[in-house]
Copies of this chain bind each other. A is one copy, B any other.
Amino acid sequence: MSEKKRTEISELGEFALIDRLTSKFTAKQSSTLKGVGDDAAVIDAGNGEVIVISCDSLLEGVDFDLTYFPLKHLGYKAVTVGISDILAMNATPEQIILSLGISSKLPVEALEDFYEGVHFACEEMGIDLVGGDTSASMTGFVVGITAIGRAKKESIAYRSGAQINDLICITGNLGAAYMGLHLLEREKRVLKGIDNPEPQFEGYEYLLEKYLKPRSRKDVIQQLAEEGITPTSMIDLSDGLASDLMQICRSSKCGARIYLERIPIAKQTSALAEEMHADPVVAALNGGEDHELLFTVPLSMQEKVMRMGGIDVIGHITAESTGAALVTPDGSNIRLKAQGFKEE
């Protein structure tokens, strides 16, 4: 490859990279309703229903650090990561397949812990594990997750359906997982080399849980169905609000305006951010891994959405030409930027 042009991945960013790599591919199968470019692929089941399938991976050293990530929680989180993508299509998750790359440093008991977490999450969500392949890994623990769900064809929420004036809605709160990770990293740093480390997590238990054992929002999908709301667009909040909202804008060819003071941030998130001299809004905008849902609904649905409870309307969809902006309390507009491909 020495004579060929060499473009660093970081020059392109993840979205442009995927576009560049997959632009040649065109769908040939009539059952392919949605291919590259959403939370999950959508396959026609042939009877008014669709099967929704997503593929994710968690890599040791990038997505988790086994020095402080209990394997039981990692198993639970793997299920959440997988089915969040299914929920983000407004579909009901039904099955999950795992494919593990296992380094020899892990004993069987560690894998049992991992599967205990998987089992707990599967029971809680009522989903089936339908495949559990393992192979050896030279390079740390690798977790491949395929999640499978089902929906009526007309109730699928793509990223591409947002319309001007639609309300931008958020479930739960943002930035907590990110601050939980930072707390764990801080304690790891502080306690390095100490024999019987006693990390200080008091008062921040919620943040740890949001990072280590995030719950998927199946409840929200059920509530939306009960209220008769089909979101015009939806995405799993895994990369941070800024990046994920820009995905909606990009797919729906629209802009967005969100209001800083409306972004839901938990007390513990603000408290730890203050303690660490960080900005909780930055955690909410760029932190990621919250696995909450971002969705849009027509303005006429406002009352129904508010009735659901636990949903915040943080802004609205605008014309594509206006771009995506964050409005601060003093009225100034800050242009949102997606975080690029994180080379770690």
> Taking beta carbons and an 8 Å cutoff, which residues of A are in contact with B?
1, 4-12, 14, 17-18, 20-22, 24-25, 27-29, 31-32, 34-36, 40-41, 43, 45-47, 49, 51, 53-57, 59-63, 94-95, 97-99, 101-102, 104, 106-112, 115, 119, 122, 126-140, 142, 144, 146, 148, 150, 341-344
Contacts and interface: CB of A to CB of B under 8 A. Distances in A.
**Integer count of this chain's copies in the complex:** 2
B32 A131 contact: no
A55 B25 CA distance: 21
Contacts of A43: 51, 94-95, 130, 148
Contact of A62 (B40, B136, B150): B136
Given A41-B97, A99-B144, A35 B108 contact: no
A110 to B, nearest CB: 6
B20 A132 contact: no
A197 to B, nearest CB: 14
A288 to B, nearest CB: 11
B59 A99 contact: no
5 contacts: A24-B115, A34-B130, A36-B129, A57-B135, A146-B146
Given A12-B108, A99-B56, A146-B53, A21 B115 contact: yes
A57 B139 CA distance: 13
From A7, A25, A139, residue with most partner B Cβ within 10 Å: A139
B29 A142 contact: no
A104 B6 CA distance: 12
Contacts of A129: 22, 25, 35-36
